A = this chain, B = another copy of it.
Amino acid sequence: MSSAPITSIGIDFGGTSVKLGVCRDGELLCTDTPIPTANFHGPAALIGEMAARVAKLRETYPDIAAIGVGVPGLVDFEHGFVHILTNVPGWKHVPLKALLGEKTGLPVVVENDANAMAYAEFRYGAVRGLHNVVALTMGTGIGGALILDGKMYRGSNCAAGEIGQMSIHFDGRAGHYGNLGALEKYTGNQQIAEHALQRYAEAGIVKTADDCTPKSIAQAAQAGDDIARQIWDEVADWLGTALSSIAWLLNPDAFVIGGGVAQAGDLIFDPLKRKVQSMLSTVVWEHLKIVPAHFSNEAGIIGNAALAADSLQS
């Protein structure tokens, strides 16, 4: 990766909108107006619109050499084939790499969105220069991705990194797949809210769900609310249990954590680090970093653009 920087397009394909941007060496040169996903029925129409946008961007940036697309679902990376996007009607068995490549004449890589975000952090963000990285995105669910031995690790069916489905209790709450003790049934945003409502109720305090978003609980804790602090400690215990298991298994350099929970800052990172340290040997803990993500909304565009650019150099 020592050659001259490559200009590439990153496309962040979400359930509600498709965001496009032009990048060079991790720098976002421009973003395009998002495409509302629902305005284009089926893959053909949406891919046509993507190609039109790409053509327009190439007028301004004629050196664009590749396109990276991140999609919210299961893909076959090698073939750039989308198996299924649960939240986008009609997206099932779509050879996205082939179709978009044909329409644009550019090399295309197709990646899972969590992997693309992790790659942005690995190449240009909070864990730049590290070798073994575990990335988490905390929201309604918990997504994850792995960079191992300096490369994206995808697993045998491009399905690796499902940290939210890992069990933290062999007899615990059932996850989406009937998997007992699924982490995201404890530390997903909704589960944190429910837990917070219960803790406040136990203390005789009436709160609404709006008071119990990660952001609101963080504000309450910062304002000196002991219950709110205790909630973060409990979230840290659950999340830290999963992270320590991953650390024992993979002995990584770093965890990088994005999403709503990560925005609570030290309120979550301090007890989380204490918990993980308490669960590890010195050797595994010593060099381990647990850091918030550097990128937020632009992570998808930058990561996909980087994957596309790097694919030309590998």
Contacts and interface: CB of A to CB of B under 8 A. Distances in A.
A249 B159 CA distance: 8
Interface string A123-142: 00000000110000000000
Interface of A: 74, 131-132, 144, 146, 148-149, 151, 153-163, 165-171, 177-181, 237-238, 241-242, 244-246, 248-253, 278-281, 283-284, 286-287
A182 B166 CA distance: 15
Nearest to A252: B156
B253 A160 contact: no
B132 A155 contact: yes
Given A132-B156, A146-B249, A156-B252, 17 more contacts: A146-B250, A149-B149, A155-B251, A155-B252, A156-B251, A157-B283, A158-B251, A159-B251, A159-B284, A161-B251, A162-B249, A162-B251, A167-B244, A169-B171, A178-B278, A178-B279, A179-B279
Among A170, A238, A251: residue with most chain B CB under 10 A? A170
Nearest to A163: B249
B246 A249 contact: yes
A160 B241 contact: no
Contact of A245 (B166, B238, B253, B287): B166
Contacts of A158: 251
Given A151-B149, A279-B180, A165 B248 contact: yes
Contacts of A281: 159, 165, 177
